[in-house]
Structure 1
Amino acid sequence: MADYAAARRAMVDNQIETSAVTDQRLLSVLRRVPRELFVPAARRALAYTDAPHPVGNGRVLPAPAVFARLVQLAGIRETDRVLDHGAGNGYSTAVLAGLAREVVALDSDPAMTQAARTTLRDLGIANVEIRAGDISAQHFNTFDAIIIEGAVDEVPDALIRLLAPDGRLVCIVRQGPTGIASLSTRTSAGVVTRSSFNATLPLLEQAAAPEVFVF
């Protein structure tokens, strides 16, 4: 039987900490969340390798170091309300739920969201709301942090409008065959965007602007 706990520790020690991830809260959560439950059963022995994993319908679970660096870039706080856009089958949501007060997970694939709902329930993770559908059909209040689990051609204005004051949006902006991790922050002077590191993820289809309701 595979020792997934040992594999998880090795993933953090050898892949993530060596990739300039220093957020101790994040490292602790990554050591706890069972990544193997979020990959197809036939690939569980490979769940902790330094590679993206196909999870169906052309979607992938990002390589551990890429994902960890994106989450660290968002600077998730214990009091934050977070949108996990393109959440897939829920691994990213499980990690974010260990860092934030509340996570809303959205994915356009109903099968993915059902798988996420089942796995997160089985893990006893309760501070999440999982929604299926296109973002243009959703009604949201604002978020302290937004993470897009896929590459985009540009930072989406529709999601920028969902940022609370001091809110952060993290995404990978595609530039040819690769991409750049981008952090956009809502400040009192407007939204400030800066580039951080090179990374690659499959393209996440962009959609029309959602309606925004602030409560």
Structure 2
Amino acid sequence: MTDFATRRRMMVDTQVRPSDVTKFPIIEAMLTVPRELFVPDAQRDVAYADAMIDLGDGRAMLEPRTLAKMLDAAAIDGDEMVLDVGSGLGYSAAVAARMGELVVAVEEVPDLAEEAQTLLMDQGADNAVLHHGALAEGAAEHGPYDVILIQGGVEQVPDALAAQLKEGGRIVAVFMDGALGTVRVGRKSASGLSWRQVFNATAPVLPGFARERAFSL
């Protein structure tokens, strides 16, 4: 029988801590949430690998290191509301739920959304709500949010999503430029979003987050 608890500790000790992620709430959450339950059954043996996990339909679950560093950059406080966009089977939402007051997880693939809802309930993530809908539209009815996490690549952030962020709030996403990507944190002020680069990472671009291509003959 696979000892997932040991693998979980190894993930934190060999992937998360060496990436300069040392905040207790992140470490505690990633040591506690059973990542192996939030991946497709066929992928459980690689749940704790330092690699993205294929969710099908061009979607992927971010590496533990990338998620941990995004959470570190987001700096979620215990009284904050979080929008988790593209939550897949719900792992990132379950982790964030141990850090913030409320997490709204947005997933547009029906099978992923349905299973994520069940998994979050089974794991006692009572402060995580699953919203089934288009990723690029977020979940305005539950907002505005203190933090928006985007669990995949973006070429641009839709205005509809940025509008759901409170003034002073943070949005964290993997910006892709071809095969290269950087995680950026945007902070919202009265004049709009100001972005800073945090670290390099890659992820498949999520549906609705690609830049419109100019048509030419």
TM-score (norm 1): 0.91
Rounded to whole Å, the distance in 2 between the matches of 1:137 and 1:83 is 8
Match of 2:213 in 1: none
CA RMSD of aligned residues (A): 1.5
Report SS of the residue matched to 1:144.
strand
Gaps of 5+ in 1: 208-215
Q: Residue 156 of structure 1: CA displacement?
A: 3.1
The 3 A distance-change label for structure 1 pair 146 and 43 is same
Question: Does the aligned pair in 2 maintain the 1:155–1:173 contact within 8 Å?
Answer: no
Rounded to whole Å, the distance in 2 between the matches of 1:11 and 1:138 is 32
Q: Residue 154 of structure 1: CA displacement?
A: 2.0
Alpha-carbon displacement from aligned partner over 1:90-114 (angstroms, at most 9, x marks no partner):
0011001010000001111111110
Rounded to whole Å, the distance in 2 between the matches of 1:63 and 1:32 is 17
Q: Residue 138 of structure 1: CA displacement?
A: 4.6
Match of 1:36 in 2: 36
Question: Does the aligned pair in 2 maintain the 1:181–1:196 contact within 8 Å?
Answer: yes
Q: Residue 65 of structure 1: CA displacement?
A: 0.3
Report SS of the residue matched to 2:95.
helix
Gaps of 5+ in 2: 210-217
Report SS of the residue matched to 1:181.
strand
Match of 1:145 in 2: 147
Paired residues for 1:104-119 under 5 Å: 104-119=104-119
Large movers: runs of 4+ above 4 Å? none
Aligned pair 1:169/2:171, yes or no? yes
Match of 1:121 in 2: 121
Report SS of the residue matched to 2:78.
coil
Question: Does the aligned pair in 1 maintain the 2:174–2:184 contact within 8 Å?
Answer: yes
More divergent stretch after superposition (134-143 vs 194-203): 134-143
Match of 2:68 in 1: 68
Rounded to whole Å, the distance in 1 between the matches of 2:6 and 2:86 is 29
Alpha-carbon displacement from aligned partner over 1:93-136 (angstroms, at most 9, x marks no partner):
10010100000011111111101011111111110110111144
Q: Residue 139 of structure 1: CA displacement?
A: 3.6
Report SS of the residue matched to 2:51.
coil
Rounded to whole Å, the distance in 1 between the matches of 2:26 and 2:146 is 17
How many residues align structurally?
A: 207
Q: Residue 67 of structure 1: CA displacement?
A: 1.1
The 3 A distance-change label for structure 1 pair 123 and 156 is same
Paired residues for 1:38-57 under 5 Å: 38-57=38-57
TM-score (norm 2): 0.90
Paired residues for 1:176-195 under 5 Å: 176-187=178-189, 190-195=192-197
Alpha-carbon displacement from aligned partner over 1:35-78 (angstroms, at most 9, x marks no partner):
00011222212111111111232221111101111111111110
Rounded to whole Å, the distance in 1 between the matches of 2:60 and 2:54 is 4
Question: Does the aligned pair in 1 maintain the 2:110–2:132 contact within 8 Å?
Answer: yes
Match of 2:215 in 1: none
Match of 1:21 in 2: 21
Letter in 2 for 1:170: V
Letter in 2 for 1:102: L
Rounded to whole Å, the distance in 1 between the matches of 2:57 and 2:206 is 12
